[in-house]
Chain A
Amino acid sequence: MNDIASRRGTRWASQRIPVPKTLLSVVGCLVLAAVVLEIAIRAGAISAYLVPRPSDVLVAFVDGLASGVLLYHGGITAFEALTGFAIATLLGLTLAVFVAEIRLVESAVYPWMVAVQATPKIALAPLLIIWFGFGLSSKIAVATIICLFPVMVTTITGLKSTNAGFLDLACSMGASRWQILWKIKFPAALPHVFAGLSLASVFAFTGAIVGEFVGASAGLGHLVIDANSKIMLAEAFAALIAVALLGLTFFYAMQAASHRVLYWKH
């Protein structure tokens, strides 16, 4: 007992301490790169027309936050991405269960999914704008389509790779197909599912931004395009940084959720 407790203690400690360390080194790298870039631009080695000065970007970012512009547009992009992610998760899990459980569905649906996946989603974005309009729903649709495939494929793989011993065991206890699915296959597939959700958590923002690039009047993607067209590079970069921060935050939130749900994996 004690042994396990102390082992757990060290395990936690060795997991907890590196987080600030990692953060420190990441921030350190960033600051260093920014300083080098700043000096290079000020010295004239890199043209300020191509790359904005990091100090200008920082000012634009802080201004954006203070004026609420970044928060407003960031909120819209986040809403699109998260809604797309949520729809893709529900839809992806449901489809995956049907595909994995029913042969006929697999042969009917799967090729279509692959075909959709093989089409560059950017090529679909203009169509989706026509179908879903200029507002938020078309961006949600792009995010959904981008997220759907990873969620579905990883879940199908997970549902189909259940340990044969578990299935024998469940059968010998007289489990119904439904019980086998929910008590054995699905929990066993969760590590796969979360691998898919992690991928999708990043893709969701790509989807929302792509949708906004094609046509939008709000959102960080719109902000980037707008700043670009006015050659306000610092503002464009500030918006890009906001996108990256949002994606990063959601990705690590997913990691944390996965860590909780897959408690037996650690």
Chain B
Amino acid sequence: MITTDALTKTYVTRGGESVLALDRVSMVIGDGEFVSIVGPSGCGKTTILRILAGLIPDFEGRVEVENSPVKGPSPAVAVAFQDANLLPWRTVLDNILLPIEIRRLGKAKYRARAAELIEMVGLTGFEGKLPSELSGGMRQRVSIARALIQDPKILLLDEPFGALDAMTRDVLNLELSRIATATGKTVLLITHSITEAVFLSDRVVVMSPRPGRITETIDVHFPRPRGIDLTSTAEFGKYTGNIRKILNYV
């Protein structure tokens, strides 16, 4: 569960001026919910995610993750960034085991789990490869497997597929949808793609340009599991059209 109450963030630039990045953002994401945030560039989406991940120490308002205030990185939360950020000197397997190593949980105990995750993201046979031997899409899959290895309650995804081509993106979205349903994680996804947001989410949060505020929250009522055909239905088009309208007229 994620709660933010009047979350406000002011950055001080190097020149000394203050930039209001987030203005009283309040939202609640329940256990097992999949919520996406869409909004124009620079509206503070990454800032929200970084605050939730415990990477930004100073902010105003109340922020809770799993019912305790955020004071730094928590093992209950895992992050996947826009760049896969795989360590180039580590193999796929060792990249996935990095969080286990960092938290000293005993790598040996997690090998079986790593193998499961590698299978889940469709990378069986690539355990021993280096990141430089993988495609962009494969790297993002590794990054997601790495986020899942410590079995976090919450998954924070910052445009994980933003740099990929449309077809790879569709495939990975399907997989993400399947993984989220199968594992029951609470997921917060940041994306620029309205289609992606509607397809994956139980709820879509639409934000205004800077200073970032929540303009509207839209519940998406499609049953799961969802197939990619859903995206070409009229009902789906209504959702995306509506969000597009909100984004253009704020």
Chain A residues at the B interface, C-beta cutoff of 8 Å: 1, 4, 163, 165-166, 168-175, 179, 183-184, 187-188, 190, 263-265
- Interface size on B, as a range, is 20 to 34
In the complex formed, the residue of B with least CB distance to A187 is B89
Q: How far is the CB of B185 from chain A (nearest CB, A)?
A: 16
Candidates B50, B54, B125; contact of A1 at CB < 8 Å: B125
Evaluate contact between A264 and B88: CB separation under 8 angstroms: yes
Evaluate contact between A168 and B81: CB separation under 8 angstroms: yes
Q: Which residues of B contact A264 (CB under 8 A)?
A: 88-89, 130, 132
**7 A-B pairs whose Cβ atoms sit less than 8 Å apart in the complex:** A165-B83, A169-B85, A171-B55, A174-B72, A174-B73, A183-B102, A265-B88
B98 in contact (CB, < 8 A): yes
The B119-163 residues at the A interface (CB cut-off 8 A) are: 125, 129-130, 132-133, 150
Q: Which residues of A contact B89 (CB under 8 A)?
A: 187, 190, 263-264
Q: How far is the CB of B209 from chain A (nearest CB, A)?
A: 25
Chain B residues at the A interface, C-beta cutoff of 8 Å: 50, 53-55, 72-75, 77-79, 81, 83, 85, 87-89, 98-99, 101-103, 125, 129-130, 132-133, 150
Evaluate contact between A187 and B87: CB separation under 8 angstroms: yes
Q: How far is the CB of A189 from chain B (nearest CB, A)?
A: 11
Q: Which residues of A contact B78 (CB under 8 A)?
A: 172
Evaluate contact between B102 and A174: CB separation under 8 angstroms: yes
Evaluate contact between B98 and A173: CB separation under 8 angstroms: yes
Q: How far is the CB of B102 from chain A (nearest CB, A)?
A: 5
Q: How far is the CB of A193 from chain B (nearest CB, A)?
A: 13
Evaluate contact between B85 and A166: CB separation under 8 angstroms: yes
Candidates B79, B101, B133; contact of A172 at CB < 8 Å: B79
How long is the Cα–Cα vector from A264 to B53 in the complex, in angstroms?
30
With A163-B85, A264-B88 as contacts: A168 and B55 at CB distance below 8 Å: yes
Q: How far is the CB of A177 from chain B (nearest CB, A)?
A: 12
How long is the Cα–Cα vector from A187 to B87 in the complex, in angstroms?
9
Q: Which residues of B contact A187 (CB under 8 A)?
A: 87, 89
Evaluate contact between B125 and A172: CB separation under 8 angstroms: no
Q: Which residues of A contact B77 (CB under 8 A)?
A: 172
Candidates A1, A166, A168; contact of B87 at CB < 8 Å: A166
In the complex formed, the residue of B with least CB distance to A169 is B85
| Extra inter-chain contacts (13) besides given A172-B53, A174-B75, CB under 8 Å | A166-B85, A168-B81, A168-B85, A169-B79, A169-B85, A171-B54, A173-B73, A173-B102, A173-B103, A174-B73, A188-B87, A264-B132, A265-B88
